[in-house]
Amino acid sequence: MNNFKRPKNDGNIAFGFIILGIGVILLLKKMGIFIPSWVLTWPMILIVIGTFAIIKHEFKSFFGFMMLFIGSYFLLKNEFDFDFGISQYIWPIGLIILGIYLITQRKRENRIIEDIRNNWQANKSTGAFKSSTVEDAKIVSEEGGSTSSSTDSGFTRTTGTSFSDKLNIDAIFSGVNRKMISKNFQGGKITAAFGGVELDLTSADFNGVVTIQVDVIFGGVKMVVPPHWDIRTEVSNIAAGLEDKRFFRDGGVDPNKVVILKGTILFGGLEIKSY
């Protein structure tokens, strides 16, 4: 059986505490207990999203720290009249930092992919990879890149065909199209925040049970799967939609190919279909 190894922090606990906190705040307000007005403002939404992303990625999320900084800045400025004198520069500076990050991240990803290709070809007979290359691939994956951290998982780019065995997709204010062709598919994770993901699994294959962690916040995920896969959804929907548009063949589903979808969908949607 193909066992999927769960990540150290799949984000469910952090997201659960966030939802719990929102529920407690709304309940206290309905009960007439004083709740500061700034708690329910738009900068707090950014702070919550940033906090969730930081915890989910074990304090290695550039997007999380960016959202936390912007939310904290506007919260202090709008609600507490803290004027740091940089209002007119905040967006240009933010765009410059974001641009530098994307450029350096892309160059690093391309370098690591090229190293993996070279080592893959050089060590094809033994299947060995240089440890430094593997560690770099792990770092890129943890920072939100799309390179797989497994030594036998191949490589993948931000969009297009993936040669990895595991999913690691982060669509933050963007769209990602991914086609998996691995014959040893091992599940993985998908995160969509203010973005969308289109995942094609029709060319992938596996045996056993795999788990895909799906977390959607103000976004959408569309999955195209083979009609004989057994898809079991265990996601939590909060003001969200879940549509199963699969086309079932006469032969039914294969009990040896089970995909379990876990996670949380908040103000978003998940669509599952087959051809």
Q: How many residues does the chain have?
A: 275
- Residue 120 covered by a domain: no
Q: Looking at residue 153, what is its pLDDT?
A: 45
- Residue 31 covered by a domain: no
Taking the C-alpha atoms of residue 195 and residue 162, their distance in angstroms, rounded to an integer, is 20
The secondary structure of 112-132, three-state, reads HHHHHHHHHHHCCCCCCCCHH
**What is the number of structural domains in the chain?**
1
Query: pLDDT of 251-266, one tens digit each?
Result: 678 889 999 998 888 7
Burial of residue 243 (number of CB atoms within 10 Å: 0-12, 13-18, 19+): exposed
Of 178, 136, 188, 183, nearest to 156 (Cα)?
178
Using an 8 Å Cβ cutoff, are 57 and 142 in contact?
A: yes
| Model pTM score | 0.52
Using an 8 Å Cβ cutoff, are 148 and 168 in contact?
A: yes
239: phi then psi, degrees, rounded to nearest 5: 50, 45
Q: Compute the CA torsion angle 74, 80, 82, 86 (nearest 10 deg).
A: 20
- Residue 58 covered by a domain: no
- Residue 181 covered by a domain: yes
Cα angle 118, 120, 125; round to 5: 125
- Residue 204 covered by a domain: yes
- Residue 97 covered by a domain: no
pLDDT at 208 over 80: yes
Cα angle 80, 39, 214; round to 5: 130
Which range of residues forms the domain containing residue 195? 156-275
The residue-averaged pLDDT of 211-221 equals 88
pLDDT, the chain, mean: 75
- Residue 220 covered by a domain: yes
Confidence of residue 118 (pLDDT cuts 50, 70, 90): low
pLDDT at 44 over 70: yes
Q: Looking at residue 258, what is its pLDDT?
A: 93
- Residue 3 covered by a domain: no
Confidence of residue 122 (pLDDT cuts 50, 70, 90): low
Token pair for residue 17? 């505490």
Q: Looking at residue 125, what is its pLDDT?
A: 55
pLDDT at 144 over 70: no
Helical residues (DSSP H) of 31-144, grouped into ranges: 42-56, 62-80, 90-122, 131-142
Element (H, E) at 234: strand 230-238
